Amino acid sequence: MNYQSINPNDGKLLKSFEHLSSAQLEKALANAESCFQTWKHTSYAERAAILAKAAALMHAHVDDFAKLATLEMGKRIDEARGEVKFSADILAYYAKNAQAFLAPTQLHPKVGEAHMESSPIGVLFCVEPWNFPYYQLARVAGPQLMAGNVLVVKHAGCVPQCAIAFEKLLIDAGAPVGAYTNLLISHAQSEHVIDDPRIKGVALTGSVAAGRSIAARAGQNLKKSSMELGGSDAFIVLEDADLEKTIPWAVWGRMYNGGQTCCAAKRFIVLDSIADKFLAKFQAALQALKPGDPMDEKTTHGPLSTEAALVQLLKQVDSAVAHGARLLMGGKRMERPGAFMETTILADIKPDNPAFRDEFFGPVVSFFRVKDEAAAIALANDSDFGLGGSVWTQDVARGKRVAGAVDTGMMFVNNIDWSDAELPFGGIKYSGYGRELGNMGIQEFVNKKLVRTGHFDAPA
């Protein structure tokens, strides 16, 4: 598969790119390794100046970056602008905080002195997805470049222009050649990169299948890896939820980014006493969304990222219905050009239905009624995934209690606002391992070295 920009709003090919040759790939890896030997010795201040400049450039050219994302993967333009600003904020956040995050930590042994110090490990290989074509890059580039590592990055095949634009951003900001390198490479070439002894760590955001493959390859090479994979997040509505506030979050939680978000609300678990009222309001709100060109700010329902993504989602919905699920609304392709799907609600999904376990990456709601709080928690936990989730109640203490009982990497009470550079992001189970963002994100690929000093005699 070559790298292709295809506008999902109309299906037209914008541009295509060839894979790197073996010689070009070798040159990129050699440049990265050479750069690391210098970059690891630069000061935090020198690194921060480059990252802060990159952040400023992103803020100064929000529309240019945003329009590219909308053209390549169909993100609605206002959401694309938000992603660009957040990506810039992540770069600025690490430029400001990295030195403090990685400062030596004093320990207190019984005899002598000891501390932990942090140092970069080398060239990292990052495999990133299309759904947030800048944010996914910023959340590895910000912390890891500031930590003193360098990156070679394979971005998704459908967003090559975004990938190239992000590399150019860092070069324009003053990053040396080799500090951040975009690789237009095949899956087979990716395996070669993981095997290369110059690569010291591997980070992936993507599907469970991709995670299994990449993590296994990294493991065979005894290389540290982090995996941010799929999700099937529960949206738990308790009987005392304020629906005037909950419904807008339900719509946003499922439909943000066309529903193509790992930590989107996907399984709506609603207590029976409020289920009919919630469903009526939720359905009406979803039906009010207006499909259209994602470049048009009046559009509230954009296309899926690719034709293949649409076909896959339609197959999943058809399979769910064939296995007994009830289709409450939608379920079909929209009769218009581009990769548009109707907003869809599936109910009566039994545990033997593939839809009970699957992740729906698009505008498909899985709706469940439960009798009480305990049943809601049990259903939320009956998932192969464990990325995020939310609980909605006017009793905050109760919300925190439910949040504590759900097995995920992230839980939100009366919001789903994960977009803060200070908040660690990641999951458990099939949702992967490791954390990005916050203080934890910069710790993933550094050597935590113990240094102990003392003048004391050897044991007899």
Residues classed as catalytic: 228, 262
* Separation of alpha carbons 420 and 93, rounded Å: 10
Cα distances (angstroms) measured from residue 223 to each of 113, 199, 212, 214, 449: 31, 8, 14, 11, 17
| CA angle 432–436–437, rounded 5-degree value | 155
Cα–Cα distance list, 329 to 280, 288, 317, 343, 367 (Å): 12, 13, 11, 7, 12
The SS3 assignment for 415 reads coil
Q: For residues 147 and 36, give the distance between their C-alpha atoms in angstroms, rounded to a whole number.
A: 11
Question: Is 226 strand, coil or helix?
Answer: strand
Report the C-alpha gap between 437 and 94 in whole angstroms. 9
What region does 222 belong to: left with phi over 0, alpha with psi -120 to 50, or beta? Answer: left
How far apart CA 325 and CA 174 sit, in angstroms, is 55
| Contact (Cβ atoms closer than 8 angstroms) between residue 343 and residue 321 | no
The two structure tokens encoding residue 37: 């030997």
Q: Which amino acid is at 175?
A: A
CA 286, chain centre distance (Å): 24
